[in-house]
């Protein structure tokens, strides 16, 4: 089992995991950037195989607190990957139509089909995180949702979806530095939302509900990985390697060509 994987039926605490940890890559930032380029090439190849074989489905879930690095992770790791086979969805405040259905309705229709990689930038987990911190639903409601989510993900994995879930773990001080950068750097000012400061006041509450969700919904088939994310370069190397390892485990192959394919050269 990977060192950052949350074990099923065991309890982890977020304070025991250092957001500055770099134990899987002690060679430093520049070396990590070179390694990421190598992993990215392999990922591009594996994504082509996935798309061509049209047999497996991949769902990647990214969760983090504000400024945790979800957008940057997607840009960095999937740079150069064929967009035809990769989709990204972000789940914001539900629309009127979405509220008229069960809370997983809008999520289920975005899950991957054969040959696809789908990335959730925030996900169905918001319905046991934000709603709990802000008391938008009753305790009885959010407690039941852990079972709903586990069952929902079991349906997906039973039908051939590989689910990989990442929590990008940053420190409160790192979040402060990233917020300040958004205020002070002109090109990043568009990212700043004053509401993020109000949410920051709820840091401890968010840590508690994340910890609970990670413990209650990490399964062997749909594991959570808690990724130390204070250093972007380390975050990207670790996550990309986990994704590549999962894809390699599928033992994919290109489909067989049509019979006697060489004969068609004379027809062109």
CATH number for the domain that contains residue 171 = 3.40.50.300
Residue 65 counted as domain residue: yes
Residue 102 counted as domain residue: yes
Average pLDDT over residues 18-32: 94
Range of the domain at 128: 21-250
Instruction: Give per-residue pLDDT as tens, 233-266.
Output: 999 999 999 999 999 999 999 998 888 888 888 8
Instruction: Give per-residue pLDDT as tens, 161-183.
Output: 999 999 999 999 999 999 999 99
User: Average pLDDT, whole number, for the chain?
Assistant: 94
Regarding beta strands 86-90 and 117-121, do their DSSP bridges make them parallel or antiparallel, or are they unpaired? parallel
What's the CA gap between 37 and 43, in Å, rounded?
A: 10
Tell me, what's the pLDDT at 92?
A: 86
Residue 232 counted as domain residue: yes
Tell me, what's the pLDDT at 1?
A: 85
The total number of structural domains in the chain stands at 1
Residue 209 counted as domain residue: yes
Q: Any residues with CB less than 8 A from the CB of 61 and at least 6 apart, and which?
A: 119, 120, 123, 125, 163, 164, 165, 166
Provide the 3-class DSSP secondary structure of residue 173.
Answer: helix
Residue 8 counted as domain residue: no
Residue 72 counted as domain residue: yes
Would you place residue 17 in the very low, low, confident or very high pLDDT band (cuts 50, 70, 90)?
A: very high
Q: Any residues with CB less than 8 A from the CB of 224 and at least 6 apart, and which?
A: 5, 6, 165, 166, 167, 214, 217, 218
Alpha-helical runs (H) found in 54-138: 70-77, 96-99, 105-108, 130-133
* Other Cβ atoms within 10 Å of 5 Cβ, number: 16
Residue 93 counted as domain residue: yes
């Amino acid at each position: 089992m990977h060192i950052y994987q949350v074990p099923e039926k065991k309890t982890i605490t977020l304070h025991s995991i250092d957001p500055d940890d770099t134990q899987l890559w002690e060679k430093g930032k520049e070396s990590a950037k070179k390694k990421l380029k190598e992993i990215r090439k392999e990922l591009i190849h594996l994504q082509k195989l996935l798309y061509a074989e049209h047999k497996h489905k991949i769902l990647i879930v990214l969760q983090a607190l504000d400024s945790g690095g979800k957008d940057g992770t997607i840009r960095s790791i999937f740079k150069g990957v064929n967009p035809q086979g990769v989709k990204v969805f972000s789940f914001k405040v539900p629309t009127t139509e979405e509220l008229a259905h069960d809370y997983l309705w809008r999520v289920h229709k975005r899950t991957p089909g054969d040959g696809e990689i789908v990335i959730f930038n925030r996900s169905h987990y918001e319905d046991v995180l934000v709603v709990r911190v802000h008391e938008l639903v009753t305790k009885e409601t959010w407690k039941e949702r852990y079972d709903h989510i586990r069952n929902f993900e079991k349906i997906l994995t039973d039908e051939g979806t590989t689910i990989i879930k990442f929590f990008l773990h940053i420190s409160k001080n790192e979040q402060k530095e990233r917020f300040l950068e958004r205020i002070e750097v002109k090109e990043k000012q568009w990212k700043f939302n004053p509401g993020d400061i109000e949410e920051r006041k709820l840091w401890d509450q968010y840590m508690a509900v994340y910890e609970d969700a990670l413990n209650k919904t990490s399964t062997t088939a749909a594991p959570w990985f808690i990724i130390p994310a204070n250093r972007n370069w380390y975050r990207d190397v670790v996550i990309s390697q986990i994704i590549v390892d999962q894809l390699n485990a599928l033992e994919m192959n290109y489909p067989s060509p049509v019979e006697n394919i060489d004969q068609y050269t004379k027809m062109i």
